[in-house]
Amino acid sequence: MRLPALTARPVHRLAGLVRGHPVIAAATAAVLLAAVSLTALLAGGGSAQPRAANVSRNYRACLLVSPAGATDARLSQESWQGMQDAARSGGVNAERFPAPTIDAKAALPYFNGAVQHHCELIVTVGTGMKPATEAAARANPHQQFVIVGATSAHPHISAIAAPADPGGDQAGRELADRVSAFVSDRR
């Protein structure tokens, strides 16, 4: 390999100094390694903050699940099934996040997490989640929300009616179909 004249002369001088002097060779190698590492570290660039990337560019719908043992567990299950159905049809990423509380103030960080994950639609279930959903809608005025099994007068919160008998298999399938259609229509 032939080096340019400006580079070749200093490299040949350094090689002559290092030859036969293992301490100088080790020190030179350490300095070069440190310089390359520092350059790579500083040139790594990019944002220091992690960010949720939607590589697929699909519409992202997120279900915030109320605490375990909630009375709306069946509605949550059928809503999740509907979101998965919408995802299977293509063009939708369905995600599920736990919200360990339905208290509006305490649940707000969980809603904000879904917003930070770039969920274009946040789905909640039941009348218990209504105050938290309304608080999140006030805090995030450009975010779209939907409540399954409850209604709200807030302009950024849509509603999907729950079946009269949510325990029945046919009613559960109807709710899943409603949720799937609602999510699919938004993409």
Go through the domains of the chain in sequence order and give each one's CATH number.
5-43 (no CATH), 59-186 (3.40.50.2300)
The per-residue pLDDT for range 51-107, each reduced to its tens digit, is 455 556 789 999 998 776 566 788 889 999 999 999 998 889 999 988 888 888 888
If one compares 72 and 26, the residue with the highest pLDDT of the two is 72
The per-residue pLDDT for range 128-140, each reduced to its tens digit, is 889 999 999 999 9
Q: Could you identify the residue written with the tokens 């719908």?
A: 61
The two most distant CA atoms of the chain are separated, in Å, by 89
Taking the CA atoms of residue 77, residue 78, residue 81 and residue 83 in that order, the dihedral angle to the nearest 10 degrees is: -100
